[in-house]
Structure 1
Amino acid sequence: MSHTAHIPSHRKPRQRASKTALRAGVAGGFLSTIAVAGAAGPAQAEPVTQTIEMPTIASGFSAAAAASAEATQQLALDMEKQADQDAAAQKAAKTAKKAHAEAVRKDEAKKKAEAAAKAKAEEEAKERAERASRSTERTTLSASTGTSGSSSSGSSASAPSSSSNVSGSAASIVAFAKAQVGDAYVSGGTGPNAWDCSGLVQAAYRTAGIDLPRVSQAQSTYGTQVSLDNLQPGDILYWGGAGSAYHVAIYVGGGQFVGAQNSSTGTVQRSMDYDRPTGAVRVL
């Protein structure tokens, strides 16, 4: 191959290189233009960028608000729960205080009841002792019923018979009446520890086997009317008219009587001068 024959082949690459350079220049200019446009772009797109970021801020604010609301609700629930607990504690304290007061009241009532029972027992024991003493007196009086009393056969109120000279049924009646001295007076009472006037007279005569009427009006006419100057132990004394008497008692000798007088004095033994009777009847 000749030397000249290789020249075209040698130049052709130069032309290619020139084109390549041209193309590179065009491409570089284009890219430069794009770079310039890109550099100018952010300044023009800044409002768009801010607009795009707003939903993100609003979303974060909404989440924070929701969290705050939830925290507030939880705080309200906690406060309500604490209030319920405080109310329950106060109620429990009041209940405990009330229960304590009730226990104290019951304890005091129990102590009072025990004291009352003790006092009643002591009173009953005292009463039994008194009744035993009266029974002893009755026994002593009954033992003396065999003693003669010739001087007492014509006794009067000015020289009354002594109860120690009483015999037979009269002694039993007098002894029973005296044994009840100190008992209470209760309207309608028939014993054994409380009497009214006619209930005591009826019970005294029952010890002698004599059944008297229950009321004082009938008792004041049961038997023979006798003068107050010619009384014998066991005679029935009455106050008021015969058949309309309002009070009765038993003459026990020595110018004295035993009767269930009233609620203030109870059953007593008194002188006839204390309350002079209207009349008397003899049943024996």
Structure 2
Amino acid sequence: MSHTAHIRSHRKPRRSASKVAMRAGVAGGVLSTLAVAGASGSANAAEPVTQTLELPTLTADLGAQVAESAQATQQAAANYQLQAERDAAAAQAAKEAKADLAEAKKKAAAKKKAEQEAARQAAAERASRSAERATLSASVSASASTSTSTSTSPSTSTATGSAAAVIAFAKAQVGDAYVSGGTGPNSWDCSGLMQAAFKQVGVDLPRVSQDQSTAGTPVSLSNLQPGDILYWGSAGSAYHVAVYVGGGEFVGAQNPSTGVVERSLDYDPPTGAVRVL
């Protein structure tokens, strides 16, 4: 036996095909596991990237919400300010309206007081005129009675006394209003006043000035006597009449602006005159 017969060969023994295949399978399995793990790791590593990409979108939405909230807050503040201004304006308007109402009430009260005072004065004037007329009627009756009993010429004495009564009545109406067609007791036209004045002594004159201008005996303006009827215009077509009261004066219902007045003949010279007393 050789001394080397027990020395093992340095050559590596050949691996069997089955072992090689098994090892290859194991290696493949390990690689597959590593590949899956790698893929899983890659997937896990990708998740933060996905979240990072979504973050700007969330941040933009939040910014829009904040901006919208700020705008709503500003709008609410503007609405509050507008409402406050409206409330202040309404309060000022109410204050002014209250002041205007108080002023209107004050003026209405003053006007009412003035109207009441004017009515009182008018009533007092009417009462005074009524008293004057009553006194005048009594005076006319007494004068006529005295003239009839003492005069040797009744017609002349009655005419004089009647003229005085006519004049007194006409003067008592001075200040009354002129109203076309007026026949008293507080408003007259020219012929209405003449008719009422002469009626006091029983003389019935025609109603209109045209007829009154021819109702008596024509007399010259240079020979006038108290109680004569003056007329303006032509006899029979006169447009105005009045009574001569003596002293160059006459009394008549002139026009709406003056009413019943006493004026000088120079103020409005008449055209002619007639005598009925």
Deviation at 1:73, TM superposition (A): 1.6
The residue aligned with 2:77 is: 82
Whole-Å separation in 2 of the counterparts to 1:280 and 1:223:
9
Give 2:170's aligned amino acid.
A
Q: How many residues align?
A: 238
How far apart, CA to CA, are the structure 1 residues paired with 2:154 and 2:49?
140
Query: Cα offset for 1:181?
Result: 0.9
The answer to whether structure 1 residue 221 and structure 2 residue 214 are counterparts is yes
CA distance in structure 1 between the aligned counterparts of 2:198 and 2:53, rounded to whole angstroms: 118
SS at match of 2:115: helix
SS in 1 for 2:230: strand
Partner of 1:239: 232
CA distance in structure 2 between the aligned counterparts of 1:171 and 1:75, rounded to whole angstroms: 103
In structure 2, the partner of 1:261 is 254
Distance 1:49 1:283, change over 3 A: farther
Q: Conserved in 1, the CA contact under 8 Å of 2:192 and 2:207?
A: no
Percent identity between matched residues is 52
Match of 2:86?
91
1:280 corresponds to which residue? Answer: 273
Report the CA distance shift for 1:76/1:205 in structure 2 as closer, same or farther (over 3 A).
farther
Give the TM-score normalised by structure 2: 0.64
Distance in 1 separating the partners of 2:75 and 2:175? 74
The aligned runs of 1:34-73 (5 Å cut-off) are 51-73=46-68
TM-score by length of 1: 0.63
What's the secondary structure of 1:251's corresponding residue? strand
Structure-1 residue corresponding to 2:3:
none
Compute the RMSD of aligned alpha carbons: 4.2
Query: What residue in structure 1 maps to residue 98 of structure 2?
Result: 103
Please list, as runs of the form range in 1=range in 2, the aligned pairs for 1:155-166 lying within 5 A after superposition: 166=161
Q: State whether structure 2 residue 144 is matched by structure 1 residue 117.
A: no
Task: From the superposition, tell whether residues 183 and 220 of structure 1 become closer, same or farther in structure 2 (CA, over 3 Å).
Answer: same
For 2:210 and 2:94, how far apart are their aligned partners in 1?
60
Task: Give me the whole-angstrom Cα distance separating, in 2, the residues matched to 1:187 and 1:116.
Answer: 29
Deviations 1:130-182 (A, max 9, x none): 33333333233322222245599659xxxxx9x9x634xx6665444222212
Q: For 1:194-232, what per-residue CA distance to the aligned partner results, in whole angstroms no more than 9, with x for missing partners? A: 444334334545666747324x33432345444442545
Counterpart amino acid of residue 240 in structure 2: H
Q: Unaligned 5+ residue runs, structure 2?
A: 1-26
Alignment partner, residue 18 of structure 2: none
Structure 1 residues without counterparts, runs of 5 or longer: 1-29, 156-160
- Name the SS of the counterpart of 1:249 in structure 2: strand
Superposed counterparts of 1:151-230, under 5 Å: 166-167=161-162, 173-186=166-179, 191-204=184-197, 210=204, 212-214=206-208, 216-228=209-221, 229-230=223-224
> What is the distance in 2 between the residues matched to 1:218 and 1:87?
82
**Where does 1:136-151 land on structure 2 (aligned, <5 Å)?**
136-145=131-140, 146-147=142-143, 148=146
Indicate if the aligned counterparts of 1:137 and 1:175 stay in contact, CA closer than 8 A: no
